Amino acid sequence: MTTRIPRRATRVFYATESTTRTKPDGEVIRCAGREQRSTTFREARKFLDDLDVPGGVTLWTERSQQTSAYADRRADGTWVSLDRLTGNWVELPEQGQA
């Protein structure tokens, strides 16, 4: 599924699947899998929910030219979002309930 990102987009959400790999020495490392760019968090969330995988969503803004953590999908299917005021992760309601 591809999403067209407008040329002048001021915000872009990156949904990235989290996977693990085992190095030859037995160390397990976390790495990125499939990724999708979206113009809304709803599209990014749907991408990871449809894959039914853990992952994260980051947000790039045109004003700051930086990418920051926005939300994470855990292996059990729950979503948490970063509260910018407290720095804590808070659970998000299921999609369609908010």
pLDDT > 80? residue 67:
yes
Is residue 22 one of the residues assigned to a domain? yes
pLDDT > 90? residue 29:
no
pTM of the model: 0.79
Q: What is the DSSP letter of 87?
A: -
CA 57 to mean position of chain CA atoms: 2
Mean pLDDT of 51-57: 91
Overall number of domains in the chain? 1
**Is 55 exposed, middle or buried, given 0-12, 13-18 or 19+ CB atoms closer than 10 A?**
buried
User: Residue 41's domain spans which residues?
Assistant: 11-82
Is residue 48 one of the residues assigned to a domain? yes
Is residue 93 one of the residues assigned to a domain? no
Is residue 58 one of the residues assigned to a domain? yes
pLDDT confidence band for 3 (50 / 70 / 90): low
Token pair listed for 36: 């999708």
pLDDT, tens digit, 9 for 90 and up, residues 73-93: 998 999 999 888 998 989 998
